[in-house]
């Protein structure tokens, strides 16, 4: 029998000079957490021990609840005292060179991701599938193609990862997401999914949302939203809520920070894709990318006058993009 992707990855990682780390994007979300948990279990089946390390905070209530419910052993980079240059890392649900991941001292030898392909950054193992709606579906496939059955807590977290990243199987969903969802469903504990769904917003979030929603401005089918919070995951979650408003098919949400402007874009208008729009918004001043339906970006403070120009700048660019693409 020919080697599976898991076999190839495990064979590579066995040569690691020291420890193996699995690193998701910063501010890990349910898809990133589930993917790391699943991959850690898979690698252990092939005799490779690994640690999950992440940078920045885990912000959202459901992500934090996941860690407790599924007993996920994640370590913040600042507490990973043994992490060093001789260690190897597998990037999960993220790629090198993206604004959402810190370059830790480890050697990033492998990547498993479902975001836009950023080119080979020196990896020795790559599995990047931009067509997949979630990284959890890719990891789930690693189980089934190796005839391994995920334990219930892992099946449940992967199911929830697919659920969250595809917005309940309605956003950027591929056949793989659906197939894996179906296979995991039989193994998952649905009561825990219900519990996670009941933990998606914290009381603090609610207040931040309330303030942010007062800023919503609508131009044709574009909704603009300005969030004052420093919390990255809220930006995406708030965009999703604004997108659910009747008549709004595109959302540009942004948060102005000292370091620069964080952007989150959503679109269900097939003529005005979220990734194209975010690239237009940051053109010449920042970085951005993503999927047709959801995308993100960042404009560093040096490139834009944070004190006053941001709102007009973004609105002007978004509206002219919209008029051009939908004309
Ligand atoms: Mn993801």
CA–centroid distance, 95 to ligand 1, in Å, is: 11
pLDDT bucket at 208, cuts 50 / 70 / 90 = confident
pLDDT score, position 203: 87
CA–centroid distance, 209 to ligand 1, in Å, is: 23
CA–centroid distance, 165 to ligand 1, in Å, is: 6
SS3 call for 270: coil
CA–centroid distance, 31 to ligand 1, in Å, is: 5
CA–centroid distance, 264 to ligand 1, in Å, is: 14
pLDDT score, position 230: 64
CA distance 268 to 271: 9
pLDDT bucket at 174, cuts 50 / 70 / 90 = very high
* Superfamily designation of domain 5-197: inorganic pyrophosphatase (n-terminal core) (3.90.1640.10)
pLDDT score, position 303: 87
Q: Which residue spans of the chain are classified as CATH 3.90.1640.10?
A: 5-197
In tens, the pLDDT along 135-168 reads 999 999 999 999 999 999 999 999 999 999 998 9
Closest to 11 measured CA to CA, from 3, 22, 23: 3
Strands lying side by side in the sheet with 222-227: 217-219, 222-227, 250-256, 260-267, 294-300, 287-290
Write out the H or E segment, with its range, that includes residue 22.
strand 20-24
Of these ranges, 113-122, 140-149, 226-235, 250-259, the one predicted with the greatest mean pLDDT is 140-149
pLDDT at 229 over 80: no
Q: Which residue has the tokens 């040569």?
A: 15
* Cβ-based neighbour number of residue 195 at 10 Å: 15
CA–centroid distance, 315 to ligand 1, in Å, is: 27
CA–centroid distance, 134 to ligand 1, in Å, is: 5
CA–centroid distance, 187 to ligand 1, in Å, is: 21
CA–centroid distance, 135 to ligand 1, in Å, is: 5
CA–centroid distance, 37 to ligand 1, in Å, is: 14
As a dihedral over the C-alpha atoms of residue 127, residue 133, residue 136, residue 139, rounded to 10 degrees, the angle is -30
Angle subtended by helix axes 5-13 and 30-45, to nearest 10: 80
Chain centroid to CA 195: how far?
A: 21
CA distance 172 to 103: 28
CA–centroid distance, 59 to ligand 1, in Å, is: 15
- Of all residues in the chain, the percent with pLDDT exceeding 70 is 98
pLDDT at 125 over 90: yes
CA–centroid distance, 296 to ligand 1, in Å, is: 12
pLDDT score, position 237: 85
CA–centroid distance, 273 to ligand 1, in Å, is: 18
Q: What is the mean pLDDT of residues 94-100?
A: 88
Q: What is the mean pLDDT of residues 316-322?
A: 96
* Cβ-based neighbour number of residue 119 at 10 Å: 10
CA–centroid distance, 56 to ligand 1, in Å, is: 17
Q: What is the mean pLDDT of residues 232-261?
A: 90
pLDDT at 214 over 90: yes
Angle subtended by helix axes 310-326 and 274-282, to nearest 10: 140
Kindly indicate whether the domain formed by 203-326 is annotated with CATH number 1.10.10.10.
no
Q: Is there a contact between 314 and 254 (Cβ–Cβ < 8 Å)?
A: yes
Q: What is the mean pLDDT of residues 204-225?
A: 92
Averaged confidence pLDDT in the chain: 93
CA–centroid distance, 177 to ligand 1, in Å, is: 12
pLDDT at 1 over 70: no
Chain centroid to CA 255: how far?
A: 18
Q: Which residue spans of the chain are classified as CATH 3.10.310.30?
A: 203-326
CA–centroid distance, 48 to ligand 1, in Å, is: 24
CA distance 243 to 180: 26
pLDDT score, position 307: 67
Alpha helices by DSSP H, the chain: 5-13, 30-45, 61-69, 135-145, 152-165, 175-185, 190-197, 203-213, 232-243, 274-282, 310-326
CA–centroid distance, 232 to ligand 1, in Å, is: 15
In tens, the pLDDT along 278-317 reads 999 999 999 998 888 999 999 998 888 776 789 999 999 9
Record the tokens describing residue 3, joined without a space.
Answer: 């080697």
In tens, the pLDDT along 8-26 reads 999 999 999 999 999 999 9
């Amino acid at each position: 029998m020919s080697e599976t992707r898991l076999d190839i990855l495990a064979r590579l990682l066995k040569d690691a000079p020291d420890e193996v780390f699995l690193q998701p994007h910063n501010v890990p979300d349910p898809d990133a957490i589930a993917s790391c948990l699943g991959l850690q279990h898979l690698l252990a089946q092939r005799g490779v021990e690994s640690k999950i390390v992440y940078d920045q905070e885990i912000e959202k209530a459901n992500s934090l609840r996941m860690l407790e419910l599924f007993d996920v052993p994640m370590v913040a980079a600042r507490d990973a005292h043994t992490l060093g240059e001789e260690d190897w890392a597998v990037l999960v649900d993220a790629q090198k060179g993206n604004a959402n991941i810190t370059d830790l001292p480890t050697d990033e030898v492998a990547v498993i991701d479902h975001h836009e392909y950023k080119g080979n950054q020196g990896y020795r193992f790559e599995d990047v599938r931009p067509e997949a709606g979630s990284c959890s579906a890719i990891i789930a496939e690693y189980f089934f193609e190796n005839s391994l059955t995920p334990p219930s807590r892992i099946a449940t977290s992967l199911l929830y990862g697919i659920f969250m990243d595809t917005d309940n199987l309605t956003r950027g969903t591929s056949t793989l997401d659906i197939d894996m969802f179906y296979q995991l469903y039989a193994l998952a504990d649905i009561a825990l999914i219900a519990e996670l769904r009941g933990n998606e917003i914290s009381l603090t979030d609610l207040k931040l949302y309330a303030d942010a929603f007062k800023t919503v401005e609508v131009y044709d089918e574009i909704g603009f939203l300005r969030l004052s919070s420093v919390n990255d995951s809220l930006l995406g979650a708030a965009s999703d809520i604004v997108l659910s408003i009747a008549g709004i098919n595109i959302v540009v949400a942004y948060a102005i920070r000292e370091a620069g402007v964080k952007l989150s874009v959503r679109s269900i208008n097939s003529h005005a894709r979220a990734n194209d729009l975010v690239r237009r918004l940051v053109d010449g001043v920042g970085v951005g990318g993503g999927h047709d339906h959801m995308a993100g970006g960042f404009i560093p403070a040096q490139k834009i006058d944070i004190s006053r120009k941001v709102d007009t700048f973004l609105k002007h660019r978004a509206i002219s993009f919209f008029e051009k693409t939908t004309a």
